[in-house]
Chain A
């Protein structure tokens, strides 16, 4: 089993993404509100406020999506993410990683 983590910076894609995940049979996902480090640094730590203009393009909030899934579904998730967001063609849209899970507790598939 794998843990897929998607960092979605352009959150307008979220609805379509979750709908598409349902279509391909993703068993469930957890969506977290998150904030990127650059935004926190330039907006919440006064000494770095002068860098706000340098990070003006970064979104104030993003979403972190956690999915526990079968290994054979990873490529499908990546395809869906590409189709909907085009995240590999442009930086700053989304990023995705998958991690091996040692043990699972409380999951039913």
Chain B
């Protein structure tokens, strides 16, 4: 499973314009919906907010991975956004979040969700990759950064 298989340019936004966690979740969800209008926005947004209530998805190191499991979703959808100034998301290390990855999972595919979350959270533990992402000015650089990293570390 490669993150680059799920990243596409329409679902990458640099910089993010919203300045709250909820706002950014909505902003990233809109990116996915612009490509996949068949997704029920209300339902997806509700599931994402409900997931945040269980425990924060701001996992530290300036990274947040808001995500949700949604019934009858065709596949996994991913959106990425960079907040240049960072947003206070009550992350586990107390740092502001700059890198946001919003993911929608089909509810029935628990194994795929586990693998995807494990892969992306492990990738983002790497300081070099995070530093590269902080400096990205457009979607191509983001996709390139992930591509290079995954090719190097996950043959």
Chain A residues close to B by CB (< 8 Å): 41, 46-52, 54
Contact = CB atoms under 8 A, between A and B. Distances in A.
A47 B110 contact: no
Interface stretch (B37-45, B55-63, B131-139, B141-149): B55-63
B29 interface: no
A46 to B, nearest CB: 5
Contacts of B65: 47
Contact of B54 (A41, A50, A54): A50
The DSSP consensus for interface residues of chain B is: mixed
Contacts of A48: 114, 117
A48 B70 CA distance: 15
Interface in B78-113: 92, 110, 113
Nearest to B63: A47
Given A51-B110, A51-B113, A52-B54, A46 B92 contact: yes
A49 B68 CA distance: 11
Contacts of B121: 47
The DSSP consensus for interface residues of chain A is: helix
Interface residues of B, number: 16
A49 B117 CA distance: 11
Nearest to A38: B114
Q: 10 tightest A-B contacts by CB? A: A49-B55, A50-B51, A46-B55, A49-B54, A47-B121, A54-B110, A47-B59, A47-B117, A50-B54, A46-B92
B114 A50 contact: no
Interface in B17-71: 51, 54-57, 59, 65, 67-69
A51 B114 contact: yes
Nearest to A54: B110
